[in-house]
Structure 1
Amino acid sequence: MKEKRTLMLPGPTPIPKQARLAGAEEIIGHREPECEDLLKEVVDGLKYVFQTTNDVLVLTCSGTGGLEASIANTLSAGDKVLSLCTGAFGERYATIAERYGVDVERINFEWGKAVDVNKVRERLEEDKNNEIKAILMTHNETSTGVVNDPQPIGELADEHDVLLLADAVSSLAGVELKVDEWGVDVAVTSSQKALMSPPGVCLVSVSSKALDAGQEADLPSFYWSFQRAKERYDRNFQTPSTPAIAILYSLRESLRQMKEEGLQEVFNRHQIVTKAIRKAAEAIGLELLVDDEIASTTVTAIQVPDEVEYSTLRQNMKEKYNVYITGSKGELKGKVFRIGHLGNVSRSDILSTISALEMVLKQEGFELKLGVGLEAAQKVFYEEESR
């Protein structure tokens, strides 16, 4: 009998049953009042999760489309931006900006390390002529499992009157992000990550400062236009083009569940499963890529042991136990495997994954005592339940 699928990817992620069923609701006209009500509830729920009073725009695309929109709507060709690169997705954000003719200055940090705020401060202080218009940063660097803190970067952005554009695709609803309090002008996320919905919708929080910058921006945008989206919202709370209605049904249900659970409890749940995975990996004898202080609560990166080939590890996890994990990118390709634990991931999912990991590692010649990782994870869960 085939094992039940355990999806432990950084996205797409498992969708709660009620959210899946909601996606099967009858399709409605996107210019009808019912769709306006749907969109209003989704946006209100998103403002709760983004912790913002800013406009939250719904774009029908993946997170990458939202990152592209963040550039196209706030900058002009030749504008200088700082891109804080701590991994593959930081590099991607910089590349998107370059494709639009933006003058990108990368500040590169070692993969597996977080942004050094002092380096950012020093570079902004050197900018005597105020050439820098924006800072690009990745809140949760999915390729390495590192969380970068937007708060001090937001303070610097405010001090130097530059925009802060943040990739929150794999962080929002799994890692706390106080958009307003921390001064994030544009925050981009997508439906298929911690928001526990099907792929296909991108959600973007946009500050008034970013909207004002868009009045002077000369980069081309039509489908991605924040201004068109906001004008349609203001007129009758519709989207400029046909939205992904079925996905919005699912997203609305997932947002309702998060509201019922409470945002802080959502973050706590992510922290607990992260601790369980990290403790289990250490007990097995595996080496974690990043330190606890900067570790993501949505994805954990673990170094592949010398005795094992990554491709074999991934394939056997999938074929023998139907557990889906993934590797890393760029300079870490083949050296690191990643376990996603965001959104609708349960303790039983974690325990199933650790059990499969132990068995595959042992079958591949890695020396370990079966059950040590499970015991470590169980201890974390037991201690949390006993509090």
Structure 2
Amino acid sequence: MINPAILLTPGPTPVPEAIRKLMAEPIFHHRTPQYRKIFGDVSERLKKVFLTENPVYTFAGSGTLAMEAALVNFHSAGDKVLVVENGKFAERFTLIAKAFGLNPVSLKVPYGEAPAPRQIGEALAKDKDIRAVCVQLCETSTAVLSDVKAIGEIVSKTDALLIVDAISGLGADRLETDKWHVDLVISGSQKALMLPPGLAFLSVSPKAKARMATAKLPRYYYDLRHYEKSIADNDTPWTPALTLVLGLQKSLEMIEAEGVDNIFRRCAENAQYTRDTLQKMGLKLFSKAPSSTVTAACVPEGIDGEKLCKIMRDEKGVVVAGGQGEQMKGKIIRICHMGAIGRKEIETGLGVLEETLKEMKSSSGSSCCCSCK
């Protein structure tokens, strides 16, 4: 690989030098006033990114751990949960629910499309036993943005909890947790927060907290009752990912300095630039409801998307993501525009993409028609 590579994947995203330097400093013990001061600061600053007054719990683990915590802490065996399945990561909610003896009700939406809020309203009206609704802010596998605001209005009028997976979208696509009536927001460190993987986050509304008192599913490591007690003392119940928390403090300082609204605007502008440039190349956008987090485009007919990504990565030092799952593997590419990724990196990456496509078309004799149907 050519170094340093330009990283345009939707996670992990580039880690700024100031954060890397801080995380390289000598480590210290975490059960100290020094750490509790830092963790207390981080816990409050996270609320500004989540746009919430609710507590935000921090776990040592990946985003999937927080997805699991969002289901297990608030349900009992046999509870029905409505899962809006419009991509590979949305489908993970169903797998987790089944693993813990919940009863997932799948609302299947074609890949590349966003769920219609009315569909969710109809499902809730049809089945009053549904205890939660699981949706994606940005479905990373398809680059689709959901209308969480409209969905929140609907779910808030029921007893169901609204669970939003914002692992990739938080800090890039607008999500107003409290105003939009979102009960549980899930996120991770390796996306717009500009950190390596290893931290997961979960914000919890008062409505969700009340439900937690009656939940009977077994849990231990991510049992929020432990975290609730510890966060009051600016601490965690188990050993924290200390170095990542130090990096998170710096990341949140950088986000505050730029301003959350300015970041939303920058990501939206870079996303539009990416979409416009891809279409000028003759590529078809995969998402019918584009996200400011990541853009997905269909590769031309006759071009192997996996080979395209491999050439760009190994020979030209630009790393983009391919498609996931049988339906999208080798057929789409995904380019990220969140976190520390700027216009310069995007311009370079798109230039390399165009160059590589021309080379592959020339050698294969393919047309400009796209493989996505």
| Bucket of the pairwise TM-score, normalised by the shorter protein | over 0.9
Q: Deviations over 1:288-332 (max 9, x none)?
A: 1123xx201111111011131112201110122110111122221
Q: Is the 8 A contact 1:9 1:326 kept in 2?
A: yes
Change (3 A) 1:148 1:366: farther
* Counterpart in the other structure of 2:108: 108
Classify the secondary structure of the residue corresponding to 1:307.
Answer: coil
Q: Deviations over 1:132-184 (max 9, x none)?
A: 11111111100100000111221122111210111100000011111111111
Alpha-carbon shift at residue 3 of structure 1 (Å): 5.1
Q: Sequence identity of aligned pairs in percent?
A: 36
* Counterpart in the other structure of 1:344: 340
Candidates 274, 278, 281, aligned match of 1:281: 278
Q: Distance in 2 between matches of 1:266 and 1:300?
A: 17
Mapping 1:1-12, distance limit 5 Å: 2=2, 4-12=4-12
Letter in 2 for 1:305: P
Q: Distance in 2 between matches of 1:156 and 1:102?
A: 23
* Counterpart in the other structure of 1:164: 162
Alpha-carbon shift at residue 2 of structure 1 (Å): 3.7
Q: Distance in 2 between matches of 1:153 and 1:360?
A: 41
* Counterpart in the other structure of 1:226: 224
* 1:50 pairs with 2:50: yes
Q: Kindly report the root-mean-square deviation, in angstroms, between the aligned alpha carbons of the 2 structures.
A: 1.3
Q: Distance in 2 between matches of 1:95 and 1:189?
A: 18
Q: Is the 8 A contact 1:307 1:366 kept in 2?
A: no
Mapping 1:72-151, distance limit 5 Å: 72-127=72-127, 130-151=128-149
Mapping 1:311-322, distance limit 5 Å: 311-322=306-317
Q: Is the 8 A contact 2:267 2:293 kept in 1?
A: yes
Please report the TM-score for the alignment, with normalisation by the length of structure 2. Answer: 0.95
Letter in 1 for 2:169: S
Q: Distance in 2 between matches of 1:143 and 1:160?
A: 30
Q: Is the 8 A contact 1:307 1:364 kept in 2?
A: no
Letter in 2 for 1:317: M
Classify the secondary structure of the residue corresponding to 1:211.
Answer: helix
Q: Is the 8 A contact 1:3 1:321 kept in 2?
A: no
* Counterpart in the other structure of 1:207: 205
Classify the secondary structure of the residue corresponding to 2:213.
Answer: helix
Alpha-carbon shift at residue 225 of structure 1 (Å): 0.8
Q: Distance in 2 between matches of 1:349 and 1:63?
A: 26
Alpha-carbon shift at residue 333 of structure 1 (Å): 1.5
Candidates 255, 260, 267, aligned match of 2:257: 260
Please report the TM-score for the alignment, with normalisation by the length of structure 1. Answer: 0.91
Letter in 2 for 1:298: T
Candidates 310, 321, 342, aligned match of 2:305: 310
Classify the secondary structure of the residue corresponding to 2:171.
Answer: coil
Q: Is the 8 A contact 2:9 2:335 kept in 1?
A: yes
Letter in 1 for 2:74: T
Classify the secondary structure of the residue corresponding to 2:212.
Answer: helix
Structure 2: gaps (5+ residues): 364-373
* Counterpart in the other structure of 2:359: 363
Q: Distance in 2 between matches of 1:123 and 1:312?
A: 41
Q: Distance in 2 between matches of 1:356 and 1:28?
A: 43
Letter in 1 for 2:279: E
Candidates 178, 181, 189, aligned match of 2:179: 181
Classify the secondary structure of the residue corresponding to 2:186.
Answer: strand
Structure 1: gaps (5+ residues): 368-387
Count matched residues. 362
Bigger Cα displacement from structure 2, 22-31 vs 356-365:
22-31
* Counterpart in the other structure of 1:25: 25
* Counterpart in the other structure of 1:217: 215
Bigger Cα displacement from structure 2, 156-165 vs 24-33:
24-33
Q: Is the 8 A contact 1:317 1:324 kept in 2?
A: yes
* 1:298 pairs with 2:293: yes
* 1:324 pairs with 2:322: no
Alpha-carbon shift at residue 366 of structure 1 (Å): 5.8
Q: Deviations over 1:90-131 (max 9, x none)?
A: 11112111111100000001110001111111111122xx31
Classify the secondary structure of the residue corresponding to 2:355.
Answer: helix
Alpha-carbon shift at residue 52 of structure 1 (Å): 0.4
> Which structure 1 residue ranges, 4+ long, deviate > 4 Å from structure 2?
none
Q: Is the 8 A contact 1:232 1:239 kept in 2?
A: yes
Q: Is the 8 A contact 2:2 2:314 kept in 1?
A: no
Classify the secondary structure of the residue corresponding to 1:82.
Answer: strand
Alpha-carbon shift at residue 342 of structure 1 (Å): 1.4
